[in-house]
Structure 1
Amino acid sequence: MVKKWLLFSFIVALLVLSACGNDKASKKDSGSSDDTITVWAMGEEGKLLKQLTEKFEKENEGIKVDVQAIPWDSAHDKLLTAVASGNGPDILQLGTTWVPEFAEAGALLDLTEYMEEHPEFAPENYFDGAAEIMQFDDQIVGIPWYVDTRVLYYRTDLLAEVGYDKAPETWEELQDAAKKLADRGEDQYGLDIDQNDQITPFIFAWQNGYDANLKENKLNFDTPEFIGAMEYYTSFFKEGSSQVEQGEDIIQAFANGKKPMFFSGPWMVNILNEQAPDAEGKWSVAVMPGKETKASSMGGATLSIFHNSENVDNALKFLSYMNETETQLEWLDISNTLPSKPESWENPKLQDDPMYSVFGEQLKESKAGLQTEQFERIAQELLSSLERVNAGGADLKAEMEQFNKTAQDLLAE
């Protein structure tokens, strides 16, 4: 971790020196004779995106789009190298937790001065959680491409057997249902909680009224709202409602009923349909059970323009095209990822679908992770602390005190 952070600091220094030696105007000058837009897109999206670019090229004669598909496992290092060298694409895809890191490094073009010409990029056009991600230090550093959020997946038949004819709606109901399901017998559980998932503890915290104050560098991990949420999180393991060990794959465990409830995103719908056919008609999804709120996480990806792109005008045209409702719905068909604009959700395909409509409701109450470049490190520290409680029997209060100190130190770096 320390070596990686030192490398990043070195790269930031190189970027600053590079920026000082460049003419600012040249970075925003799209008058280049090269009308090819280079796009770095990650994973499967990079492979599928080419299906959208042909239409854009037909509508914008003379502009070509060169999509380079980059595997997720090598994407972060490739982006760091691009920042250091100043040799990046015109447009790059970023996972939501990466935006603060690369924005802090100055790698992303501030789109603020282009907003009058492109009002379609205004933050109010997107879900609130997505609007949080596209902004950093009063700059507009990316346009939400697609979004995702977590909801509750549950076995309707097994919940009915323990007295729930619909999904649990509150913390109390979720805890009660999970305990009753776990009491069915040996190797039976109620709620699967992936202890490697860094966002679940924060979801519980948001539901309990927690919020950070990053403007004043206060993470607020010592507040009753956060501590209470961690008590709730660990209670599922303490009561035996959630399995401490990794155990059986969740797809199989959900299909055979050992783990009748879990949290996941929209990608899981197709996975269950394909890999758990025997459970067809026996499961559904619901918005998150809540306490103060029913909040969930806002995930997905943004499209940003690299800070020294010499093809900004054409890059903006491409972002505008990707932002259109029609394009977002076409991307939904291609990739099964969700549109980032509420306007797109007015389409009957989303409104009338029993699964999609639940995700649409949850997106209205979804929050972005902490918008700091240190989020990943902080989240991993939290998971380590919670694992020591769940698996090792450590004292939660002591672990949270140490975690709060460690997290504040990380934020101060």
Structure 2
Amino acid sequence: MKMIVNSCLIMALSLLYIMNLSCGNKTRNDDGEITLQFWQFWTDPEAKKVMTDLVSEFEITNPRVKIVVTDLTWGEGHSKIVVAFSGGNTPDILELGSDWVPEFSSRGALMDLTDYLDTLLQERIMWEPGEFDGSYYAAPWFLDTRAIFYNKALLRQAGYEAGSNFNTWDDFALACKRIDALGGDLAGFGINSYEKHRLYKKFLPFIWTNNGDVLDNSLSPVFDSKSVLEAFELYLKLADYGIIDNQQNLDIKFIDGTLGFNFSGGWLLKNIQRNRPDLEFGVMPVPSPDGKMGISFAGGEYLVISNKCPHPDAAVKFVKFLIDPSNTIRLCKAVGFGFPSTNALPDDPFYSENPYRVVFHQQLLNSRTPPNHPKWVYIEEVIEKTVEKGIYKKGDAETLLRQANDEIKQILDRKNN
């Protein structure tokens, strides 16, 4: 009974949320001014200031357009977006994570942007998450990837000389093992505990680098293949040579100097500079079985327009304004990481004079996005829970992958709600 009451309360609050948004959602006033509703996730104070400035600048150059911004959180944003689309009261413009786009483009909820893109399709990269049935429904805005941070001082303590190479899986695992063997509060590698929408981004690169995948070209599950098993066994070995924690705490441990290798994002560069500028560290690409640069996870923020938007031309103009590289770089500088969706490294000292960001850009060009599937958010949950079971020794790798593959197949066979 308590669960039923709670469910009804949640539904009622969701409906109130939608009704509140729709009230006063008049899109054109008597003076002909257009109002566009924009939902976005940049709530960090520094990033929020940049977003506020960008919106103001757009409104100044487009005085007949008013942008009303609604902030979302990553914890609740997805559910609110689903409720909004289900209720038919969607914002005009919306920021979506790259792995969320297919869920909505496949439902016909987003506006087809193909005819508006002109030369942008050739000038920008990573359109894959926004593509569905040969058309484009999302524009890449802010891109980033993951790379390996390593502690030079701990490597010296473990007997390594400067310039030592850890590009192969075997050498990388051995270095993690030797640092972990130093004992005390030191750990070789940082393994993510279960964190929704995060853990799988740390595991899939090992699969892709080993020529494995979650789905094959026909979108059938292949998560129990030999390539995936080998990657999973390596990941579990790294767990034995490290510490299991959430990403925030792993980053803190790396900054404190107690973690040898940390698979993290560009945000860590800013945190190191702010909290431990004297830390001796380096950044390397994802290791691989043969020592070549491995494949990392490519993700980022994409901009979409609701198919119910009454002012598509104005909405497209705002989207193009935000994804202009010069404007995206301002946002990247505010948060300390990320790249505009351009193929070349931006000609800006923020990138060119920072060797770590150069490595991140090289890794970005050798990275990929998750399978472009409308049910991906449910598939990733299976992956994350499977990895968690493995690192906590709740089953052998082969059995866990076989069970996960069956679960993924059930998700794919399930009819759309």
Aligned counterpart, 1:42: 41
Measure how far apart 1:212 and its partner are.
4.7
Measure how far apart 1:226 and its partner are.
1.2
Matching residue's letter, 2:101: V
Contact 1:253–1:259 (CA under 8 A) maintained in structure 2: yes
Going from structure 1 to structure 2, the CA distance change for 1:134 and 1:61 (only over 3 Å counts) comes to same
Aligned counterpart, 2:143: 147
Contact 1:47–1:69 (CA under 8 A) maintained in structure 2: no
Alignment of 1:104 with 2:98, yes or no, is no
**5+ residue gaps in structure 1?**
8-31
Going from structure 1 to structure 2, the CA distance change for 1:352 and 1:252 (only over 3 Å counts) comes to closer
Greater shift, 52-61 or 84-93, is seen at 52-61
Measure how far apart 1:299 and its partner are.
1.4
Identity of aligned residues (%): 24
Measure how far apart 1:275 and its partner are.
3.2
**Counterparts of 1:40-119 in structure 2 under 5 Å?**
40-44=39-43, 48-115=50-117, 118-119=118-119
1-structure distance, mates of 2:380, 2:220: 15
> Aligned Cα RMSD in Å?
2.8
For 1:320-348, what per-residue CA distance to the aligned partner results, in whole angstroms no more than 9, with x for missing partners? 11222222222223333422323562313
Aligned counterpart, 1:26: none
Going from structure 1 to structure 2, the CA distance change for 1:332 and 1:393 (only over 3 Å counts) comes to closer
Contact 1:251–1:272 (CA under 8 A) maintained in structure 2: no
Aligned counterpart, 1:376: 377
Q: 1:160 aligns with which of 131, 144, 156?
A: 156
Aligned counterpart, 2:27: none
Contact 1:46–1:70 (CA under 8 A) maintained in structure 2: no
Aligned counterpart, 1:202: 204
Aligned counterpart, 1:20: none
2-structure distance, mates of 1:331, 1:320: 15
Runs of 4+ in 1 over 6 A off after TM superposition: 245-248
SS at match of 2:36: strand
2-structure distance, mates of 1:131, 1:342: 11
Measure how far apart 1:160 and its partner are.
3.1
SS at match of 1:243: strand
Contact 1:244–1:391 (CA under 8 A) maintained in structure 2: no
SS at match of 2:96: strand
**Counterparts of 1:274-289 in structure 2 under 5 Å?**
274-277=274-277, 280-289=278-287
For 1:26-55, what per-residue CA distance to the aligned partner results, in whole angstroms no more than 9, with x for missing partners? xxxxxx944222211114256641111222
1-structure distance, mates of 2:112, 2:217: 20
Q: 1:173 aligns with which of 157, 171, 174?
A: 171
2-structure distance, mates of 1:171, 1:126: 32
**Counterparts of 1:247-266 in structure 2 under 5 Å?**
249-266=249-266
1-structure distance, mates of 2:113, 2:102: 15
Contact 2:224–2:398 (CA under 8 A) maintained in structure 1: no
2-structure distance, mates of 1:108, 1:144: 15
Going from structure 1 to structure 2, the CA distance change for 1:243 and 1:281 (only over 3 Å counts) comes to closer
1-structure distance, mates of 2:354, 2:404: 42
1-structure distance, mates of 2:56, 2:32: 21
**Counterparts of 1:230-249 in structure 2 under 5 Å?**
230-237=232-239, 240-244=240-244, 249=249
Going from structure 1 to structure 2, the CA distance change for 1:251 and 1:331 (only over 3 Å counts) comes to closer
Going from structure 1 to structure 2, the CA distance change for 1:329 and 1:297 (only over 3 Å counts) comes to same
| TM-score normalised over the length of structure 1 | 0.83
2-structure distance, mates of 1:242, 1:163: 18
2-structure distance, mates of 1:201, 1:156: 24
Matching residue's letter, 2:99: T
2-structure distance, mates of 1:57, 1:311: 15
Measure how far apart 1:362 and its partner are.
0.9
Matching residue's letter, 1:216: S
1-structure distance, mates of 2:248, 2:202: 20
1-structure distance, mates of 2:216, 2:412: 9
Aligned counterpart, 1:125: 123
Contact 1:213–1:219 (CA under 8 A) maintained in structure 2: yes
Measure how far apart 1:194 and its partner are.
0.8
1-structure distance, mates of 2:149, 2:247: 18
Matching residue's letter, 2:363: Q
Greater shift, 321-330 or 395-404, is seen at 321-330
SS at match of 1:36: strand
Going from structure 1 to structure 2, the CA distance change for 1:40 and 1:276 (only over 3 Å counts) comes to same
Contact 2:284–2:359 (CA under 8 A) maintained in structure 1: yes
SS at match of 1:146: strand
Contact 2:190–2:259 (CA under 8 A) maintained in structure 1: yes
Going from structure 1 to structure 2, the CA distance change for 1:246 and 1:333 (only over 3 Å counts) comes to closer
2-structure distance, mates of 1:59, 1:244: 50
Greater shift, 396-405 or 348-357, is seen at 348-357
Matching residue's letter, 1:182: D
Alignment of 1:403 with 2:413, yes or no, is no
1-structure distance, mates of 2:93, 2:245: 41
Measure how far apart 1:179 and its partner are.
1.0
Going from structure 1 to structure 2, the CA distance change for 1:214 and 1:100 (only over 3 Å counts) comes to farther
In the alignment of these two chains, the number of paired residues is: 377
Contact 1:43–1:72 (CA under 8 A) maintained in structure 2: no
